[in-house]
Structures are given as C-alpha cells and as structure tokens.
Amino acid sequence: MYWLSAKSAVVLLPTATRWRSLAGLLRSSSRKCCLTFGSPQLLKLKINQNDRVYCFRDRKAFRVFARTTKKVRNSVGVDVKNLPHIMWWKERLEICKKASTVQLVKRIVYSNLLGLDVNLKSGSLKEGSLNWEMLQFKSRFPREVLLCRVGEFYEAIGIDACLLVEFAGLNPFGGLRTESVPRAGCPVMNLRQTLDDLTRNGYSVCIVEEVQGPAQARSRKGRFISGHAHPGSPYVFGHVGVDDDLDFPEPMPVIGLSRSARGYSIVLILETMKTFSTEDGLTEEALVTKLRTYRCHYLFLHASLKNNASGTCRWGEFGEGGLLWAECSSRQFEWFEGDPVTELLTKVKEVYGLDDEVIFKNVTVPSEGRPRPLHLGTATQIGAIPTEGIPCLLNVLLPPSCTGLPVLYMRDLLLNPPPYAITFTIQEICKTMSKVTCSLPEFTCVSSAKLVKLIELREANHVEFCRIKNVADEVLELYSNTELSKILKLLMDPTWMATGLKIEFDTLVSECEWISCVIGEMISLDNDVNQEIISYPHIPDEFLEDIESSWKGRVQRIHLEDLYREVEQAAQALHLAVIEDFLPIVTRVKTVTAPLGGPKGEILYAREQQAVWFKGKRFVPSVWAGTPGEAQIKQLKPSLDAKGRKVGEEWFTTAKVEEALLRYHMANDKARAKVLELLRHLSFELQSRINVLVFASMLLIIAKALFAHVSEGRRRNWIFPTLAKFHSAESSEPLGEVRAMKLNGLLPYWFDTAKGSPVRNTLHMQSLFLLTGPNGGGKSSLLRSVCAAALLGICGLMVPAESALIPHFDSIYLHMKSYDSPVDGKSSFQIEMSEVRSIITGTTSKSLVLIDEICRGTETAKGTCIAGSIIETLDARGCLGIVSTHLHGIFDLPLSTVSTVYKAMSAECVNGQIVPTWKLKDGICRESLAFETAQREGIPENLIRRAEELYCSVYADGLLRKTGKEEYQKVTSSEEYVLSDLNNTGFDEGDSFPGVLTRKSIHSDTHSGKQRGSGRTMENLQKDVRKAVGIICEKKLAELQKGLESPECLERNCILVSARQQPPPTTIGASCVYVLLQPDRKLYVGQTDDLQGRVRAHRSKDGMQNAAFLYFVVQGKSLACKMETLLINQLPSHGFHLTNVADGKHRNFGASDTILEDIAVCR
C-alpha cells in the first residue's frame, strides 16, 4: 500500500499495479517517505490493500481531481500507472530557477507524460497529430526527455521544452506567450551540444528521427526512435557515416546498495556493456569511497539499510550508517526491496526501456585474498581521490602526458588493491618493462564501453575500425617480439581482474589475428592511394571533394569497383554537360571587353544546394546578334532548390546539367549506401568477438598505465620493493622479516629529487609505533609517506625509497585530522570516533594502521585515556602501524602493551632555539614547540610571553624545556638548513614536511643512463642512415681510444623507433643521440636526456605523427653533444639531406679529448 499526496489530497493506490519506478513517489527534497506538493498535514487512512481510494480534505479538491482524471482518461487514455512518472517530472520542474522556465512551468498540466494542456493553442492530443505521436514515443521511455526531428530542428514540447530552456540555454518557440503550450528546440547542427547539456545535468534523452526521402502529399513523414543519450553514454546514431572520432565519457553505472551479514554490498550495472558486478563484505567507509569515485546514473538503496521501522531520515544519525547516510542524502535515490541483483536488473530494464530478453553478463571477480578497499579518509589523505590541499598521488605516479583511461585504471588499482598473485604479476610486468631495450607499441587506448556500444548498434565508422585494428596489431606486436612476449603473457591476469573476462592466451592471439585480417581486408588504411578524388578542369574541386569524400577512403576499392566506375562515368557526363552548356558562355564573357555594365558569368559551386551552376547577370541575346554563346544563353533557366524555389537572380542551369547532376548524385548516394552497408556488416562480424575486443583494449590500457608509471618512476629514482606474503603473529612462521616492513631512505611521495635534496627516513617496523614530536616536526608527512609506500607496494608499483620490504597487508588505514560537519550535526570528535570505530572493527594482525594526533578534539584527560585504550587494542591485535600524539600524559598511564615501540621526530638546538630535523629516532619527545610555532605564524609577542607565564605557573618552571635541551644534540655551525617553498606542496604552513628540508649546496646537472630513439618504415633509408652513423662515429671514436667497438657493433646498437612506437623506459635519464627520419626523407640530428619527451615533441608537429627515429645511448651529455655535432657535419657528405645543418657550425661544448678517452658508446 503506497500513499501519494497530490495538492490537498492523499491518494492510495494498489500495490498490485506494476509501476516502472514507484520509489520516485516516496521521495522528496524534504521527506523520503512520501511525495508532497505543498499540501497541509496528510490524512492517513488504513484501507484494504486491493482498494483504490482517494481521500481529500474538502469536496472541492475531490471534484477538481475527479474532473481532471476523467478528462485525461477520455482524451489521451493515460493509465494510472503513468502517474508516478508524471510526479517524477513534477519534482524535476520544481527545482527549475530560470525566469523563462518558471513562466513555462505555469502552463504545464500534470495529466499526461508530456504535461500538455489540451485547452491551450497547439496542445491537441488528437490521434494522428504530431503531439499524439510524440506522446506514444514518450510512453515507451517515460523517464527520458524526448527530442523529435521536425525538418531542420529537433523539437520538444511541454515538460521536455521546459528542461531544454532550463539546462540547454535554448529560447522557447514563440517567446513566452501564454496562449500556447511550451515548445523549444535546437537546430540539427546543434544536437550534440544540446544532448551534452542535458546529460551533464543527469537527464536521459530519447531522440526521434524522420524517415528521410520525399513524403506523399498530405501525409506525415514516418518517424522512428533512432537512439538514446544517457549520462556517460552518448548518442551515436549516424556515426558510421562521419569522419570524426567520438569522445566517449566514462560510463555511469546504475548502483544499488544493500546490507548483508558480511557487511555492506554494492551492485554496479552498466547498461552500455550489458554487465553487472557485485561486491560484498565492504565497510561503510569503503562503500562511501566507491560512491565518491563512481558517477552513477541512478542510485537505489535497499530496505536492508534502514536501521529502524520508519525508515525516516534519522537512519544512520548516530553510529554506523551515518557516513553513508550523509553521502546518500546529498544525491537523488530510490528505495527498493527484494533480491538486490534481480530487482536492480529489472529496474535497469525498465529505466532504459530494455526488453526482458536482454541478458546482463556477470563479471564479478572473486575477492578472496584481496586486501580491503581503501577507506574514504585514507584515499583522500594521500590524494588517491584528488582532494584540495593534499598532494595527489596519481599526479606523481604517471607523467603529465599520460591522461584518460590509464589514469582511471591506476586510480581503481589504488582504491582496490589486488591479491598477492596479481600484485606480484604487476611488479614483474613493471620490472620487465624497465629492462627492455627494443621499441614498444604506442598502446592504443579505446574505451570498452565505446567499443561495445558502437559495434552493438553497428555505428562504428572507419576511424574506429582503424583504432580496433591498431589494438589487435599491437597485441600481435607484443606477441611476435621475444622481448615483449613475456609482458603480454603477464598482462593476462591483471586484465582478467579488471574486466572479469577469462580468455586464454592462445585464444587472444588467434582472435586478434582474425580481427586484424578481417578489418585489414575491408577498411582502407592510410597508405591506400587508389581512392583519390576525381578532378576535372571545369568543375570546382570543392564540389567533387564534398560529394565524394563522404564515402571514399573508408573501405578498400576492391569492394566497390562497379560503383567507382559508375561515379566516374557520371562525373565525366557532368563535365561534358558543363563544357557544352556553360563553357561557351564563360568563354564569350571573357572575350567581351565591356564597361562596368557588361555581362559577367562563371561556373561556381553552390555549396548549400550541392550543385555546380552558372552564376552571371546582364545577358541580352539580341545584343550579341548570333555570336557564339547565344544559343547556350537561351537554354539557361533559373536554378531551383530541393523544394522547387528559385535560388537567386544570378544562379542559372540547364536541363542537361541538371540531368547530369542528378545522375552524379545518385551514383554517389549508391556508393555511400554500399559503404555504410559494408561497415555495418563488419560490425556485425565483430559482435561475436566483442569479449576479445574488450579484453584486448583493457590489456593495452593496463600496459600503457604501467609503462608510463615505470617511466616516471625511473625519472624520480623510485625503486621496486621486495614483496612478501604476510604471516600473522599466530602463525608458525617466525616474527622475522615476513612480519616486518622495512623502508630505507623513504621520502615523501610528492617530493621530486630533481628539485632538491630531501630528508630521508628509515623504518624497520615489526609492531606498533607510538610517535611523538614537535609541531611541524614531520609526523603527518611521515604517516602519509609510509601509507603511500605501503599502498604502492601492495599494488605492485614502484615506491619512493632507496630499498623496501613490504608485506602484503590485508588492509591499510590512514586517519588524519577530522573536521566537524554542521550539516550532519556532528562535531570533529564525533567524526573522529566514527572513523576510529571503523578502523578498529576492520583491523587484523595483517593490517597497517596509521593514526595522526589521536583524540585531540576533546577534553585532554579523557581523550588521553581513550587514546591509551585504542593503543592497547591495536597492540593486542598485533598489527603494524604508527599512532602519533601530543597527549604526553599517555606515557603516565598504566598501559598493557606488549610490543608497542616509542618513536619520536627529532629536533636540534641551534643558536639556543630548538628546531626540528624531520628525522625519526627512538624515544619520546615531550617538546611541542608550540610557543615557537605560534610566534613564527605571527602571534603577537606579548601573547606569547603571557602564555609562557601561564605555562610556568601551572607546570614546573623550566623542567620541560631543560629536559628537552638535554635530549637534543647541537647542530654544527658548518651546516645551514633552509626550508623550501611550502606553497608548492599544497599543505598549510602548519603541516610538517620532512621532504622539503634541503641543504645549500651546488648540484651538477649532468645526467647518465639510457635513452632510446626511433626509426621509420622507409627501410632503405633507415639501413643507410644506420650504416653511416656507425662509420662516422667509429671513425671519430677510433681517434680517441684504441680498441673501440667496430662499426658493425655501433651500427647494431642503433635502435629503431618506428611509427606508432615509443622508446623504452631504459632511456629515462640517459644521454642519447638520435636521428629523425622525416617523411620527406630529410634528416634531423639531435641529442637529449629526455628521449620520450623529444619524440613526443617532434611528432606533435603537423605531418610528423608517424615519424621514425634512430638512436643510440652514450655515457654522458658531453659525448652526446660531440657526437651530435659530428653527425650534423658529416652526414651530408654521405649523401643525406639535413634540416639543421647550421647547428653544426656554432657548437662548442667544451668536451676535451682526455674526457672522451674514458667514454664509450653504451650497448
């Protein structure tokens, strides 16, 4: 039994009636239990469930409702089951704020899905009318905005028109006249922008197209639903016939939340992919983290989440559930009951208008042995979820040039760490990539949702097929290369974890071969030169380009030979017609030397009409007196557009030209239709391999993400940690290194060693650390650094340290300072205790727990005792971790701890003042440096002095300061410490920065290492250049050092980077000499310490996208500069053309022969 409040009425409707989304009736901005519209207190009656009863406060309201109901049923036949949808739209219109929208809403009547008032002008819903036709389409998808094609516009009426005005910035048709129903629309060319505006605001759109072609007299054009646009799933109708690529956003799932005995559960359903996955046993914080990272289209909450019978907003007000309620209450959601998966799949089919026969594939990956997902606090405090004021971990894992899908994969990897076996595999992939010396593919990244939607709807164009072929070819390239095939095999398991699809290695290779072959046989590739546009001297090239480019260059000519001949014959006939009918006139005009009033004319392209016509004026045949051209002038007739209207006074044509134009257009239309047919058939063939395509595309996304991470990690001098399975304290394994975490030379993840010399810390953690230290001493930064290193380690990634041993934790928790939440009515201490409760609940002996400044939000004495009790609990659990505190009274408590170790951030006495060193040491630090910190931040000196007096009046005079000075060593006067600019770190000035301490010293900019260059498929040129480079460099090096490698060895060490390849990570930081082979067969010689960046820079220029490179690595920048100058000066003498010859005439790098004697070319 459900209650519906309407105006001053409460309507009781039977639950037997099936509604598409009844939960929309039970929610409003102020109440989640019912939907109200400004009505007074409701009158609730308990009535039999199967009865339909309407209860009103007064008879007048009842009469109005009865008349409206009868009128609606008699006029448009809307069944009661559509009332929930109508009320759902009413909610949406009530939040509109634009003045023009508010005026339109006043004309809406909530008696039908369109909101049309049949008494207003153009509001008729008579059967057969356009409004009636639109209502039929709307009834099929009642929760979607309807756009209907009418001529050159897409129109919306009633409720949908109001939304277009509000969110798409469109003006209503006819202004704000009150006598007609609301109407709005957009031109055909602006459809994409309008759809983006609507989906960006969370609305789905149903698009209705007209059947193209002439319609019979006095008959309405046929219309059909061409597609839908949803948030995260764009409209793709007609994409198969265009040249453009389609920007495909991250798909937005439908999310359902529930609760079971194991914990919280989440169900994610992707309508585009036709897949669903479930995850159970989540904590509240982990569930909220997932909600923060997913932009869901619809959110459904299961009744199991309610903690009381009423299900009101008091659910989760205190204790467990409060964080989740705060997250959900800021979103639009609906309640549901029953089996979570089954009911959600039913709702998804209803929302998206899918048939019951549609099957969704379960891609759930087992979670056994997998660490817990990150809590919200942990993810935000290390920047795994970008947070203002926190250094973003994602920004330092990947170079700035890596964006899009690889970044999303790395984010999901960090938020959901994999099992140990997958972690080990990911690390092996990264290690192998860091050692390869051959060129790697570009790793083409294609969205899986984009692939599925375009192929399923058969809207993939030739551009997309080329990208699909690149995906298959790059998988085959990895397979065919002995150095890279190991990487391909290792990528199989991480790809299964990311997609939920299990595909055998041999199956992947064979299917990619088939896909590449099928697409290669059909699609015209870039090197196909047999599809040039026809050119004729008397027909404008723009005309032929516009008409024929709409189908040429898409599929191979062998499939269209007959149509090519037909188009060429039609073009030839058009050319002859133009010569016979137009050329004599043009020739005559050119021979006549007349004043300004003489005749003028020329053959031009009428772009809007897609025709070649004669444009001229002032032709008087009697004046010409039978001269050549007069007969043709008499044949001229005014040009007409497609609707038979005269185009203009200066445009003319002839019957013969019009016949030839019609023939040419028909031939092109036939060819275009055949091309679309072939492309759609190719999509049909690939549908059976869609799982392989999804798997291969994700495999390359993972490969690109890990390749980019290795490149950035090598640049930052990060290392691969030693991974170990974690053994609990109760196991038979000893308490040795398998239970310990060792971090040697740890530095903050946000610090770049290239910009300064950081302060590193070393930790050997076998138990819980209780950490003390002064304000600004580095406690918070140490916790963030340890958390990031541990998280990166259990994900198989590189870590910012000199060496590391990291066990595979089953969970990682980081709790930093908390803030109050006035919206939820919670103080900062309440929020802190809620997070600590969740941490304690989920902590095991295999967990890493990091808590910063525990219990600082309440009264000191009781806060100290709570903190002590928490420490005892964590110590008893046997977990590893760090708990930092300023509550020094905790050391006076009789704590029952077994293995907790006291650690402190040290400080030193400099010129009589205690300053932090940001170094970790054993012991306890009772000095907070509170007065010094306050004074440094600008607190008036008199306030500081008074604070010191009050302090001394309560505590023993000078005791703490004396003890503190005795504990710290004095710094030597020969060293001077400076703080780097704190503003670049994203922290407040009061935070601690162990990584920003630098010593004033001079650093050399000289780099060493390896880099790599590239070559191109011009095989002869590449071989000649490689041989010449070997001879030239060998000849010079032989003068400097005897016994150096032979020219063949140097030639062998020249590595080729072909088109669509990139240098390996071994070139990071190495000195390289490279030769760029340009498409015009000219060369460019250069040297660099950043070969990957230089390759990207060269290929970013016009015409250089497929440029190839040859490179070799040398020891030291000085030698690289010497070899660059040598090649620039001597390659021209070997018959090569250089574009930068002048660079070799003014180089003086200061490299002496004595230095070169000790340098050899690196292998």
Split at pLDDT 50, 70, 90, the class of 910 is: confident
Across 93-131, b (16+ Cβ under 10 Å) vs e yields beebeeebbebbbebbbbbbbbbbbbebebbbbeeeeeb
Question: DSSP letters of 702-739?
Answer: HHHHHHHHHHHHHHTT-BPPEEE----TTSSS-SSGGG
The burial class, CB within 10 Å (0-12 / 13-18 / 19+), for 803 is middle
pLDDT digits (tens, 9 = 90+) for 386-415: 888 888 999 999 999 899 999 999 999 999
- Distance in angstroms (rounded) separating the CA atoms of residues 1085 and 1072: 11
Please report the pLDDT score of residue 997 as a whole number.
33
Three-state SS for 826? strand
- What element of type H or E holds 692? helix 690-715
Asked if pLDDT for residue 49 goes beyond 80, the answer is: no
Question: DSSP letters of 283-349?
Answer: -HHHHHHHHHH---SEEEEEGGG-SSSS--TTTTSSSTTHHHHHHHHTS--EEE-S-HHHHHHHHHH
Phi-psi domain of 383 (left: phi exceeds 0; alpha: psi -120 through 50; beta: other): left
Tokens linked to 1073? 């000499």
In the block, tokens 């058939």 appear at 681
Asked if pLDDT for residue 959 goes beyond 90, the answer is: no
- Distance in angstroms (rounded) separating the CA atoms of residues 217 and 397: 66
Tokens linked to 976? 């001077």
Q: Over 61-109, what HEC string results?
A: HHHHHHHHHHHHHHHCCCCHHHHHHHHHHHHHHHCCCCHHHHHHHCCCC
Of 1079, 1095, 1030, nearest in space to 439 by CA: 1095
Are the CB atoms for 1011 and 1091 separated by under 8 Å?
yes
pLDDT digits (tens, 9 = 90+) for 837-855: 888 888 999 999 999 888 8
Tokens linked to 473? 């070819």
Split at pLDDT 50, 70, 90, the class of 657 is: very high
Split at pLDDT 50, 70, 90, the class of 1156 is: very low
Are the CB atoms for 394 and 379 separated by under 8 Å?
no
Q: What percentage of residues in the chain have a pLDDT greater than 70?
A: 78
> Between 971 and 787, whose confidence is greater?
787
**Residues 983-1003: what's their mean pLDDT?**
35
- Write the CB contacts of 757 (distance below 8 Å, at least 6 apart in sequence): 998, 999, 1001, 1003
Least confident interval from 270-274, 572-576, 706-710, 833-837: 833-837
Amino acid in the structure at residue 657: V
Of 158, 239, 154, nearest in space to 197 by CA: 154
Enumerate the β-bridge partners of residue 914: 909
Asked if pLDDT for residue 436 goes beyond 60, the answer is: yes
Are the CB atoms for 752 and 995 separated by under 8 Å?
no
- Distance in angstroms (rounded) separating the CA atoms of residues 159 and 198: 13
- Write the CB contacts of 936 (distance below 8 Å, at least 6 apart in sequence): none
Split at pLDDT 50, 70, 90, the class of 562 is: very high
**Residues 258-286: what's their mean pLDDT?**
89
Handedness of CA 759, 762, 765, 771 (dihedral sign): negative
**Residues 1012-1024: what's their mean pLDDT?**
63
Please report the pLDDT score of residue 320 as a whole number.
59
Tokens linked to 917? 């060193």
- Distance in angstroms (rounded) separating the CA atoms of residues 781 and 814: 12
Please report the pLDDT score of residue 434 as a whole number.
93
Of 867, 878, 873, nearest in space to 840 by CA: 873
Please report the pLDDT score of residue 28 as a whole number.
34
Question: What is the overall mean pLDDT for the chain?
Answer: 79
Please report the pLDDT score of residue 822 as a whole number.
57
**Residues 810-814: what's their mean pLDDT?**
93
**Residues 906-920: what's their mean pLDDT?**
78
φ/ψ of residue 824, rounded to 5:
-90, 0
pLDDT digits (tens, 9 = 90+) for 60-101: 444 544 444 444 444 444 556 788 889 889 989 998 989 999
CB atoms under 10 Å from CB of 281, counted, come to 13
Tokens linked to 977? 């410490």
> Between 1118 and 1155, whose confidence is greater?
1118
Split at pLDDT 50, 70, 90, the class of 784 is: very high
Least confident interval from 356-360, 952-956, 1126-1130: 952-956
Tokens linked to 850? 């990091």
Tokens linked to 873? 């609990």
Of 792, 932, 908, nearest in space to 848 by CA: 792
Asked if pLDDT for residue 111 goes beyond 70, the answer is: yes
Question: DSSP letters of 520-572?
Answer: HHHB--TT--S-PPP--TTS-HHHHHHHHTTTTTSB-GGGSHHHHHHHHHHHH
Please report the pLDDT score of residue 316 as a whole number.
47
Please report the pLDDT score of residue 62 as a whole number.
45
Instruction: Choose from 947-951, 1004-1008, 1065-1069 the range with maximum mean pLDDT.
Output: 1065-1069
- Distance set, CA 579 to CA 450, 482, 539, 546, 658 (Å): 49, 62, 9, 21, 13
Three-state SS for 765? strand
Please report the pLDDT score of residue 820 as a whole number.
54
Please report the pLDDT score of residue 283 as a whole number.
85
Asked if pLDDT for residue 1067 goes beyond 70, the answer is: yes
Please report the pLDDT score of residue 719 as a whole number.
94
Please report the pLDDT score of residue 9 as a whole number.
39
Are the CB atoms for 773 and 830 separated by under 8 Å?
no
**Residues 489-496: what's their mean pLDDT?**
95
Split at pLDDT 50, 70, 90, the class of 768 is: very high
Indicate the Cα dihedral angle 233, 237, 241, 245, nearest 10°.
-10
Name the DSSP class of 1143: G
- Distance in angstroms (rounded) separating the CA atoms of residues 645 and 439: 62
pLDDT digits (tens, 9 = 90+) for 206-237: 999 998 765 554 567 789 999 999 998 899 99
Amino acid in the structure at residue 1057: V
Split at pLDDT 50, 70, 90, the class of 5 is: very low
Are the CB atoms for 744 and 799 separated by under 8 Å?
no
Please report the pLDDT score of residue 323 as a whole number.
77
pLDDT digits (tens, 9 = 90+) for 712-765: 999 999 999 999 887 655 554 444 446 789 999 999 999 887 777 778 999 999
pLDDT digits (tens, 9 = 90+) for 278-327: 998 888 888 888 888 888 888 999 988 875 433 444 444 444 567 788 78
Split at pLDDT 50, 70, 90, the class of 1159 is: very low
Three-state SS for 606? strand
Three-state SS for 1034? helix
Are the CB atoms for 130 and 188 separated by under 8 Å?
no
Asked if pLDDT for residue 383 goes beyond 50, the answer is: yes
Least confident interval from 446-455, 869-878, 1118-1127: 1118-1127
Least confident interval from 359-373, 629-643, 1067-1081: 629-643
Please report the pLDDT score of residue 23 as a whole number.
35
Asked if pLDDT for residue 972 goes beyond 60, the answer is: no
Amino acid in the structure at residue 87: M
- Distance in angstroms (rounded) separating the CA atoms of residues 886 and 1003: 38
Instruction: Choose from 21-25, 154-158, 1102-1106 the range with maximum mean pLDDT.
Output: 154-158
Split at pLDDT 50, 70, 90, the class of 895 is: confident
Kindly report the length of the chain: 1163
- Write the CB contacts of 867 (distance below 8 Å, at least 6 apart in sequence): 854, 855, 883, 885, 887, 890
Of 234, 254, 220, nearest in space to 336 by CA: 254
- Distance in angstroms (rounded) separating the CA atoms of residues 1077 and 1121: 19
Least confident interval from 143-147, 467-471, 528-532, 585-589: 528-532
- What element of type H or E holds 1026? helix 1019-1040
φ/ψ of residue 343, rounded to 5:
-65, -40
Please report the pLDDT score of residue 1065 as a whole number.
87
Of 257, 279, 452, nearest in space to 364 by CA: 279
- Distance in angstroms (rounded) separating the CA atoms of residues 380 and 394: 12
Instruction: Choose from 475-479, 577-581, 931-935, 1100-1104 the range with maximum mean pLDDT.
Output: 475-479
Across 464-475, b (16+ Cβ under 10 Å) vs e yields bbbbbbbbbbbb
Of 229, 264, 269, 266, nearest in space to 249 by CA: 229
- What element of type H or E holds 487? helix 485-490
Indicate the Cα dihedral angle 569, 575, 576, 577, nearest 10°.
110
**Residues 603-627: what's their mean pLDDT?**
76
